[in-house]
Amino acid sequence: MGRIDRSGGQDATMERRHIRSMLAHIAEYEEVKSKKHDTFEFAHEFYEARGLCKQNFLKYYRRYILLGREISALIPHKTGRKFKDSLEHCPEVIEKLKELRSKGYNRYEIAVLLHKLAEVELSSSAVYRLMKKLNINRLNPVIKEEKRRIIKMSAGELGHIDIHYIAKDTVKQSKQKLYLIGIIDSYSRVCWLEVIDSIKAINVAFAANSILLRMKQRYDIEFKEIMSDNGSEFASKNNPEHPFEKLLTFYNIKHRYTKPFTPKTNGKIERFWKTIEDELLSGEQFETIEELKHYITGYSVYYNEHRMHQGINNKFPVNLC
């Protein structure tokens, strides 16, 4: 169904043919749906036999019905909003959009930030069209680097939480599965760990609560946002009664989620697990779970207060709290 020139020229013939064809298809389709068709029992048989795209046909059919079977509804129209004068009418929005884009934000992030910072309602598609008109829809290498460089500006703005499996036989006297749950502050890199023997949502919520309290008491860090992956122990966007969701609601912490299959989004805590393996767990064996917990607590203190961190210019994480 190509676009029709409705200017009254020679394409009017094509328009009339298109309308006749659509009306015939609609009549036949309604016979199928009412079980009165002699040949087709199901709609998919009708689409296949007539060479119709289901989505495209139904788009026109629904428009036709909604407009009271108005013939003009069957004529293809150009879709999408026109931004003919948008750049002249809202210069403050354009400047804010340019500023956000220069920091490497994508169209989805910009749409959210425009609403949050400037109370401007623009869909992600509208943002993209504006960026294209401004010729800033493609990120150049400088902006990409700026996006990678941006970090949180104070402790507690964003925390990363994750769970790490402890290798079997790390504890001699334990046959159960053991895990580490950790939270790391995005800005200072201050972290804290707990050992758990279950990753059920309720157990994870209790352990996370313990970590939040410890980080508040020892380092005076209170989180505004926490990022997790989409695992069932953390994530339940549509269930406010989920234990971890309830915990964050209690502390008035916003829950952010990583994109599926993109662990680098939570890269700080992912990188921390490698450090833990290299510096503490690899090749070690502990007699009891209590001994392991003692070493984990000691390492948390060492990491935060006595170990220089390359990611923060060789400072101690505690110095940035």
Domain boundaries, the chain: 12-74, 86-149, 159-320
pLDDT above 70 as % of the chain: 86
Of 273, 272, 282, 264, nearest in space to 310 by CA: 272
Question: In the chain, at which residue ranges do the beta strands (DSSP E only) sit?
Answer: 159-166, 178-185, 191-196, 225-228, 254-257
Structure tokens at 53: 């795209």
Q: Report pLDDT for 214.
A: 95
pLDDT tens by residue, 167-196: 888 898 788 899 999 999 988 999 999 999
Of 73-82, 118-127, 250-259, the range with the lowest mean pLDDT is 73-82
Of 144, 123, 134, nearest in space to 88 by CA: 134
Q: CA 99, 104, 107, 110 torsion: positive or negative? A: negative
Pairing mode, strands 159-166 and 254-257: unpaired
Mean pLDDT, rounded, of the chain = 82
Whole-angstrom Cα distance, residue 130 to residue 118? 16
Quote the pTM value.
0.54
Q: Report pLDDT for 135.
A: 86
Q: Report pLDDT for 251.
A: 93
Q: What is the dihedral of CA 27, 29, 33, 35, to 10 degrees?
A: 70
Structure tokens at 181: 């749950």
Structure tokens at 185: 């502050």
- Could you tell me the CATH superfamily of domain 159-320? Ribonuclease H-like superfamily/Ribonuclease H (3.30.420.10)
- CA–CA distances in Å: residue 193 to residues 33, 118, 239, 300: 61, 39, 27, 7
pLDDT tens by residue, 206-254: 999 999 999 999 999 999 999 998 888 988 777 888 999 999 999 999 9
Whole-angstrom Cα distance, residue 162 to residue 204? 10
pLDDT above 90 as % of the chain: 31
